[in-house]
Amino acid sequence: MAKDYLWQPKWAALMREIDIHPHCPEEKSHLFDAADGGSTEYEVLNWLHSTVRLLKPEEILETGGWDGLGTIALAHACKLNGFGKVTTLEIDSRQCLRIEQVLDEARLNKYVDVYCIDSIQYLTRYNKIFDIGFFDSETTIRAQECSICLEKGLLRKLAVFHDTSPTRTEKFTAKDIQNKYRNDVLSLAKHANCTGYYDSPLSRGFMALWLKG
């Protein structure tokens, strides 16, 4: 399959989402691509890449950097903008080294600060302001991460969540965890600083919350 994504690194595979995870027909996973079972779909990352190009953020937060694929998408958009910095939080020290390695290979180091730290600890301790937040750590803490940001006024424009499909529980074994995650994100959409949200039911789903700034 041809590589269709401007920012896609050479090491990242390109597979059909339908061949990686079980899905309900209405999620239309056959229309989506992913690198592997743990990565975010390319279409979601491409949307983030385009959004960074459009909104021209100076500071971007990413929780759960893992293999660095999402980090590269965000950082590449900053490079094309000519400015911007991604702060990626990853608790696994081995993955932090991996992220730094792939950023070096892609020559994107100057656009990313990698912190090997618990995301809740970082967000509770520090008061850095971000324009965009991509919450992609463990689903059990993503809503909490964003809640801290909203309560402390650390997010100005946009909060993005992955894996929020309303039909995910039909094929996902940890149904209670998934239901709580989705409901917690929907609760955040009612926060006083949130002006609206978009809820995509396609593939594994994603949700974007627009903020007052």
What pLDDT sits at residue 3? 57
- Is pLDDT of 1 > 50? no
Residues 6+ apart with CB under 8 A from 171: 21, 22, 23, 24
Which percentage of the chain shows pLDDT scores above 90? 94
Q: What is the CATH number of domain 41-211?
A: 3.40.50.150
In the predicted model, what is the mean pLDDT of the chain? 96
- Mean pLDDT over residues 128-137, rounded? 98
DSSP string, 127-193: ---EEEEEE-S-HHHHHHHHHHHHHHT-EEEEEEEES--TTGGGT-S-HHHHHHHHHHHHHHTTSTT
What pLDDT sits at residue 32? 97
Whether pTM > 0.85 for this model: the answer is: yes
150-171, pLDDT tens digit by residue? 999 999 999 999 999 999 888 7
What element of type H or E holds 208? strand 206-211
What does the DSSP 8-state code read for residue 73? H
pLDDT category at 2 given cuts 50, 70, 90 is very low
Contact present, 9 and 69 (Cβ < 8 Å):
yes
- Is pLDDT of 120 > 90? yes
Q: What is the Cα–Cα distance from 65 to 88, expressed in whole angstroms?
A: 6
Domain limits, the chain: 41-211
Return the closest-CA partner of residue 105 out of 72, 70, 64: 72
What does the DSSP 8-state code read for residue 117? S
26-50, pLDDT tens digit by residue? 999 999 999 999 999 999 999 999 9
